[in-house]
Amino acid sequence: MTSTVRMPVGTDGASGPAMETLLARAERKERWSLLSLTLPGFLLVFAVLAVPLAWLFWMSAFDNSGALTLANYERLLRPVYMSSFSITFQVAFCVTAVCVLLGYPLAYLLSQLPERASQICMAFVLLPFWTSILVRTYAWLVLLQRQGIINTWLLDIGVIHEPLALVHNFFGTVVGMVHVMLPFLVLPLYDKMKNIDPLLLSAAANCGATPSQAWRQVFLPLSLPGLASGITLVFVLCLGFYLTPALLGGGRVAMWSMKISDTIALYGNWGAASALGVALLVVTVLILLTLRRLFGLNDPRRNG
């Protein structure tokens, strides 16, 4: 004998509002859980980033008495600072151009190698990250100085008759910074090239394109977003670089970051140094936004 369970009248009608209440409580609980997980990280970022930036802007715009002043920013119009500003852009442009000339063929080679060979070669590309930048910079000093290995070798084989000035100048600064920045261009470029479907090149060949035409009209355009990301990363990093220009430039390549350090170390002028820092930050952000718009890095259709 089976028994039949009868539901009370109106239960089905009441289940709708009850379920909505449960769902609302679950959503509120999920939001509070998300907030509790993200709030510590947000507060940490605010403490280590927003507060120092606010203090930087404050010190650049107010004097010791707390009065608003533009004297620190007027200082930036002096020839010595404008010259440093120009040198910074020249170095950043040259380093980025050399990285493109060296990095694009290297990334293309890595993308065409078998998987195991590509991983081994990529390890050598990443090798500079395993050593201190200070050690690498001093290694370039040993190689490029007047009694260094390169000059000694060129003198021994008779290519030159007196040592070349390869360090403590613009050339040495660019060489050292290219060594540091090259992986930052190769990595996004290699990733983009590796994701290009080889069947696209085969389809272009089936349509009558030569290998060079297929590369120029198919592979190159598809790799440009990766190249644009690398160029943006390298150029922006170069603007605020300090250690390598300071050592390999020998004080003769006065980049913007070095002026900030000198203003504090030599003159103790924190207001002027803060204005220099604010100017560098604003210029860097503007250049970053300009490059992203120029290269279309915000367009998912180009980066997909």
Transcribe 158-226 into DSSP letters: TS-SS----SSSHHHHHHHHHHHHHHHHHHHHHHHHHTS-HHHHHHHHHTT--HHHHIIIIIHHHHHHH
φ/ψ (deg, to 5) at 263: -65, -35
Q: Is 158 part of a structural domain of the chain?
A: yes
CA distance 109 to 124: 13
- Flag whether 282 is in a domain: no
DSSP H or E segment with residue 123: helix 115-125
- The whole domain housing 123 covers 89-255+298-303
Q: Give domain status of residue 1, yes or no.
A: no
The amino acid occupying position 290 is: T
Any domain includes 61:
no
- The angle subtended at Cα 297 by Cα 293 and Cα 300, nearest 5°, is 125
Domain tally, the chain: 1
Q: What is the pLDDT of residue 230?
A: 92
Give dist(CA 150, CA 132) in Å, integer: 22
End-to-end CA distance of the chain: 65
What pLDDT does 180 receive?
A: 92
Rounded CA-CA distance 49/69 in Å is: 24
Determine the residue type at 105: P
Tell me, yes or no, whether 21 lies in a domain: no
Q: Please give the chain's pLDDT, 304 residues, in tens.
A: 444 444 444 444 445 677 778 777 778 888 888 888 888 888 888 888 888 888 888 988 887 777 788 888 888 888 988 999 999 999 999 999 999 999 999 999 999 888 888 888 888 888 888 888 889 999 999 899 888 889 889 888 888 888 888 899 999 999 999 999 999 999 999 999 999 888 888 888 888 888 888 888 888 889 998 999 999 999 999 998 998 999 998 888 889 889 988 888 888 888 888 999 999 889 888 988 888 888 765 555 555 5
Q: Does residue 50 sit within a domain? A: no
Sorted by sequence, the CB contacts under 8 Å of residue 278 that are 6+ apart come out as 56, 57, 60
pTM of the model: 0.79
Structure tokens given for 182: 């090259």
pLDDT at 304: 52
Asked if residue 206 belongs to a domain, the reply is yes
Please give the pLDDT value at position 47. Answer: 84
> Where residue 143 sits, what CATH number does that domain have?
1.10.3720.10
**Residue 4 lies inside a defined structural domain of this protein:** no
Tracing tokens 């290297």 back to the chain, one arrives at 106
Identity of residue 215:
W
Asked if 223 and 192 count as a contact pair (C-beta separation under 8 A), the reply is: yes
Helix (H, G, I), strand (E, B) or coil at 48: helix
Cα gap 273→60, rounded to integer Å: 8
